[in-house]
Each structure stands twice: as structure tokens, then as C-alpha cells.
Amino acid sequence: MVRLNEIRAGEIAVAEPQQFDAGLIYIGRVHTPWTDRLACPRQGRSDGPLCRIELFEPWVAALDGLEAYARIEVLYWLDASRRDLVRQSPADDGTTRGTFALRSPVRPNPIGTSVATLIGIAGNILTVRGLDCLDGTPLLDLKPDRSLFTPIAPPQHGDFQTDD
């Protein structure tokens, strides 16, 4: 069962932060078939349903060139998730593990990352497969998949360092 807002047996919560260190802006919104957290996939699949990513202005011009990549990294903000658990029980069976050993949406900074298959771009709308988030999730960033991307900028010293 997906967590709504409960704390389960064995889970450990810490105090909510009193202030933030940096700020995010929502650059768009993700549209998926899932309007209920109890139906969302645990992990997106590359043959999953078509989803749409809507970009807001002034960021639409920043899409130019992204159509060349078959897969893109999508970062989004899991705004329905609590942020205060250090140990979680995904199966709700009394066993727990640390939050960083899970890909649960519940984390101190609830940033979701997916690698999506890019089907097409038309205006400010991208069509993709492979997402797993709720309909309406705020978008934070889009990047070419790391394995498909070759830096355009000239290499620097660090690119050649392999020693310790």
C-alpha cells in the first residue's frame, strides 16, 4: 500500500526543517494517467502508458535540441510526500531500512528522477513513456539521458583524472 501520511510501525521521523537552504521553481507540470497514489506504478516502465510533460514559459525555448535524444532524464517534485522519515517500512511489515536505501518518494528533498522514452515534442508539450508519478506533479528539470550525451564544451583537466 502506498503511504498517505501515516507513520508505520518501526519507522523513525525527525523534526521538520525550520528553514530552507535553497529554492526551487516549477517549470512545468507532468500529466499521467494516475490521479491516486494508490494506483501509481512503483517504477516507470519503458513500455508504460503515454504521459505528457507541459513546459511553462519562459522555458519553452530551452527545449530546442532535446528532440535528438531517445531518452531523457526527468526531474520532478513529489509535492504530496512527507519529508521527515529516516527509516521506512515499504512493506508495512515491521521491517525497516534507511530512507537513502530506498527509492521511496518520502525523502528530505522529495525529488523524483526518471529516465523516460521521448516520443515527441510539439510546442510546449513533450510526449513520453516511463514515468511513475501522480498526475499534476510539478516539473523541475529535463536533461538528455547521461548515456546518450556527449559534452559539447571542451574537456578540462578533471576529465582525465583517474588517480587518487
For residue 58, say if its preceding peptide bond is cis, omega within 30 degrees of 0: yes
Q: Rounded to whole angstroms, how far apart are CA atoms 108 and 96?
A: 17
Contacts of 66 (CB under 8 A, 6+ apart): 72, 118, 121, 126, 142, 144
Asked whether the beta carbons of 74 and 151 are under 8 A apart, the reply is: no
Q: Rounded to whole angstroms, how far apart are CA atoms 75 and 78?
A: 10
- Decide: is 144 part of the binding site for a second copy (CB under 8 A): yes
- Decide: is 113 part of the binding site for a second copy (CB under 8 A): yes
- Closest approach, Cβ 27 to a second copy, in A, equals 5
- Decide: is 27 part of the binding site for a second copy (CB under 8 A): yes
- Closest approach, Cβ 3 to a second copy, in A, equals 9
- Closest approach, Cβ 20 to a second copy, in A, equals 3
Cell of 25: 521553481
Helix (H) or strand (E) holding 127: strand 125-129
Q: How many residues bind a second copy (CB under 8 A)?
A: 83
Among 80, 82, 135, 138, binds a second copy (CB under 8 A): 138
Residues 63-92, interacting with a second copy (CB under 8 A): 63-66, 68-69, 73, 75, 77, 79, 85-87, 90-91
Among 5, 6, 47, 123, binds a second copy (CB under 8 A): 47
- Closest approach, Cβ 143 to a second copy, in A, equals 5
- Decide: is 17 part of the binding site for a second copy (CB under 8 A): yes
- Closest approach, Cβ 120 to a second copy, in A, equals 14
- Decide: is 161 part of the binding site for a second copy (CB under 8 A): yes
- Decide: is 94 part of the binding site for a second copy (CB under 8 A): no
Judged by DSSP in three states, 124 sits in coil
Q: Rounded to whole angstroms, how far apart are CA atoms 133 and 114?
A: 9
Q: Which residue in 116, 106, 29 sits closest to 71, CA to CA?
A: 116
